Every structure is written in C-alpha cells, then in structure tokens.
Structure 1
C-alpha cells in the first residue's frame, strides 16, 4: 500500500472527537473542469480511504488521456453559464497548450463573447443557432466581417470543447456559415516606404524607421522583430563564395539575424543586405534591443505602441490603407519579383511548403546557405536593374 502522504489529492482532517476524516480534494484546475471534493472515509478504515483515493487518481489519469470519467465523480453543473464554460476552458490543458499569441487573441474574443452572452450569465444550453446567426450578422452589417469571422471561430471551438466536457450535446454554431475573409493583398513599393521612413526620421523615431525597413527585407513578423537583441545579430557562415561576395559588408562579414519564430517555432536565418548594417549597428549603440522604444531606450518598443506610431506615420504619408503587417508580404513579393523562387523565399520567411511543416523545422538549424543564396539573388537583380536605369 502506498504511503498516504505520497498520494495526490488525499487530505486528512482532524475532528473535534480526535478522529480523522479523509477527503479527496482535486486541484483547482480539475475542480474547474468538473471534478469535486469527496469524503472518502475515516481513520477507522484507513486502508479503504487510501484505496479510494488511488482509484480516483486512476480515473483522473484515464480522463486526462481521453477516457471518459464516470459522471458520478464529476460535478458537472446542472446549468453551465457562459462564464462557467470560459473559466473551465482557461483552466484546461488545451488552453495551456496554446501559444502565447494565440491565447492573447482568444482572450480578446472570449471577452467579447462574454459581453454578448449577458455578461457571461447566459446558460450555454440556451445558445441556439438563431442567436449565433444574429451575432454574425450584426458584425457583418457593421462592416466588421473580419471580426465576425474571428469571434465565430472561437465560439465554435469553445462549444466543441463544451461537448467534450459533456456540458453540451450539440454545437449551436454548426451549419452557421463563418464569413470568408479575403486575404490582404496590399503591397508597398520602395518609393512609398521611403516616404514613410523619412517621416519617421524627421519625427526623431529612428526605431520606427528601422522597423519599416527590416520588416520589408527580413520577411519577419512584427512580434519576432521586436524580440531581436544584439545576441541575435551575428556573422553568417556556410555561405557560398559567390553569394558572400554580394552580401558581405566592407569588413568582409555576411551579417544577419538568427531567431526562432514565435508563431511557427521554426529557426530561421535572415541575411541582411550590407547597406543596412550600419543602421543596425547604430541601433545597438542606443540599446541592447534592436527596436528600442524611441522614448525609453531601456526597453523594446511595445507592440501596441509600434502599431500606433506606424499608423500615424502611414497616415501622414498618405498610406492610410496599409498596415505594418503588409510589409512582410511586400518583402516576399519584392524578392519574388527580383527572381528568387518561392521555396528559397521560405528559407527566410519561415513559411511551410504547401502549408505543411515538419517537426524537423522546429529542431533542426536554419538553412543559412539557402537563405543567403536567396538574398544574394535578389541583390544581384536589384543591382543589375539600377545599373540599367543609370545607363539610360
């Protein structure tokens, strides 16, 4: 028999008459998911209490691995409210497994849904297909098709999770069409970007100007750029000599950033054109962060603040239809236009080929040689075009 002190969730309480009562008390996470405290015996039959605790722990283990625990051991509310469901989902292993950026997005949508569900007081059994359609249509009519799609996707996921917890039998979002949002296709050209960069520099915001340039040439997402520090800036090795001749700065170094993307988990090397090396070196004289806050060099620029500043600069540049995220797409289009094939571009951008990613992409080192070849191809074509333009 296992030592009772080593048995998870087994607690003994001393009573006023000197005897002890055993309780099985699951963790807060398990309680949020429906498991309840249970009195399982007294010290008059200590062996039976310990056996019962071990049996309950076995049922929890089976349930965690996908088996259904007996309903008699689970305190499933007779009527779950929407807030009950949201709290249970946030306490679940599924929530713990989400990436931080995904959790932030879901948090926003769950708060919006709680407001819709009578501030969370609405019993989930009363949510029907008509309510879901109305929720969708309100946002679509307001011109918020993207928001409607995002909210309904999270609601559908949450309702499916509720079915798995036996809190619902059917998903009220089934057969409710989620709006299809067209992919953004906006692209900035070099002249437009130069105008925005000049405005940022005139307003003494060098980090914003550098962020605009690097978003175009590095092909990285905003969140990844904001994490870059001096530790990520390094000479790149294993570069073909012909490519090194194009990418090297006057000191003979091929420089770039090595990072693990937050969204994909992939390691990538981003070779940076030599004409940007001095700007990056200057940035690191101001702060350890590549894109430090222009008003507080001790920290990286917060994402919301960079978005706000870029928005203001784009508006002044007459680029009000563009967003910062359009620069990554613009950079990939630019490289493709400069003769780099799609597969080579993904060695820098981190995109999966044909929408699939191998686990090796997470654990294997980046393909430095291919990434440098892609950037060198683009710079050769760019130089050729400029020489032809000068010859006219």
Structure 2
C-alpha cells in the first residue's frame, strides 16, 4: 500500500514509520505544521508540534530513506481545533482538544489530502490496535473493523481515537498497537539509529505554549467579572470569567472565606447565562448517570427490549481516567447516548469524550463500541 506516515518529530511516530517501511509499504513522511506562533519552540513550549519538531521529523525520514514533506495545516488547525476549544469553554463546557485534533486534523484534513494524492492509508504513532480496514490490507473497508486498546495499557490512546469513526479508522495504521511499553519503543528507536530515541514525551495543550490554560482563555475571550456561588445561591466571591473554571477544579478559586465545616470547595457547575461559578463539597461532584450526543458507533448495538445498547460494558469519561462498569442505551436517530454507571464517578464535565468499551472491568485489548460527547 501507499502509506503516508505522519511524523510529529517524536519517537513514537518515527518508530511507527520505520515499522511501516519494514512491512513493505511505499511510505512517504509528512510533518503537519499546526502553529505559526513564535512561542511554539522547544524552549518555550510544553506540548507537541513545536518548530524544532519539523527538523527532528525530517532527520528521522532521512535515516529511514523515505521522501519527506512539511504540510501547513495551521489554518485548518486554528479553525477546527482552537476555535472549537474556545467556543466550548465559552459555552461552559470543558473540551478535549486532542480528541478534536485526531478527529478533524489527523483523520479529516490529513486524510483528505492523503487520498487526493493517491495514498491508501495514514500511519501514526498512536498506541491502539486496529483490526480490519487498512490494517488487514483493505483500506476504506469498514467491514469487520475494530478499534481496541493498546497492548500497553499505560499508553493506550483508544479513548482519543474513538471519535474518528469507522471511515477515518478504516484508512489508519497504528504500528505501535502491539508494543509492550514505551521503553521498548525507545529501545527500538535506538537500535534503528533514530535520533529521537531519548526525546521527552510531549504533554499539555500544544497551542498553549506556556501551559497556562486560564491565561490563554483570558487573552482569547477577555474577562467577564461574575460571582461565585454556593449550590443554594449564596454569593461567596467573584471571578473574572466562568470559562476559566472546569467541573472538579479545587485550586485557584480565589475564595477567602472557608466553608462553614472547613472542608474544601470544588467547582460543581458553570452557568454561562448568569456568569456564575457554582462551588460546593466534594460529594456533590459524584454522578451515576451520564448523557452524551454526537454519537459515533464502532460496533453493532444489542437489543435491550425496546431499546438499543449494551449491558455490562465499561465507560471512560476522561483521557487518563479509570473505566467503570455501566449499562448503556443509545438512540442512533437522535445520535445520543445515556449510561447508568455501576459506581459513582466524580467530576464528570460536559464537553469531554465518553467512550464505551466491550467489558467491565476493561481488559487488555478491549474493543471500543461507541463514543459520544458528554452533555
């Protein structure tokens, strides 16, 4: 197959490209330039996609002996990821920009260009397993397509990939899905002579160069002084904008008066219309039901009487969270999902991704059944 290897400049994508070459594919490397911000350099950034990453990607491609290009996707990234991030916070939700980047850039904009140029598939350094589609030599076919957790549960990225859906995933290759650990991938990079073997992992939001998300939101959305209230409506303090807070947050509330019982307060809810932030005790953060929309189905649902869904599965409600047992009901026509959790979960935030896995508790290689955005 003709494979476009997305080279971020890190060790994972470099080893993934090397494995694609070794598998006999006709591989071309491409680095996605997502930022035109001068601060997006290794010295000033904590996330991925820095300016220097393009040089590291080019170096890896030269060692692998594959053609290499840099594609400017900064406009698409700004319009499809950054603008969505700001709009979601403005609406009082807490988005996951990595989920949107995978959906709208790596498996939308990148795949669009790859297909227009005659490529069969895109290979990335994600940690997840795929069955069917390009992974089985049938790019574009969703028949028998399955997305599963990676062999290395600590690095598994199926949570952020689920939103990409069958169409995008059918043309994806994840050569690192069976890698036993990140240390093993680094050792493989060293054996192959790849210069990024010891490069640190990226973290934080790539377009927030200094890691100060609240500051980025204030600079982008301005300030809107409002009140911080108790669940009963008592005014406890003020804030500079509800969009600077997220459900479950404890630090940075700026309250000078402690709770009557002396216990810490947490953000329970933001109310955009009233510009209020509701704070209260930890026990009010727990939820046993979750609803979502924008349903993405990656497996056929079961019949549950008059409804559709799955019993005895598990759901994950944040990227690095623990999956919990649940019963899930879906409405394909309305593109919605509701989950009854087998145990309460704290700090569930609207705007985050909810991913349904095939068993409870999750086991190695669990299949992804569905995804939705928490409402």
Which protein has greater RCO, CA pairs closer than 8 Å, 6+ apart?
A: 2
The structure richer in helix per residue is 1
Provide TM-score, normalisation by structure 2. 0.22
Which structure's CA Rg is the greater one? 1
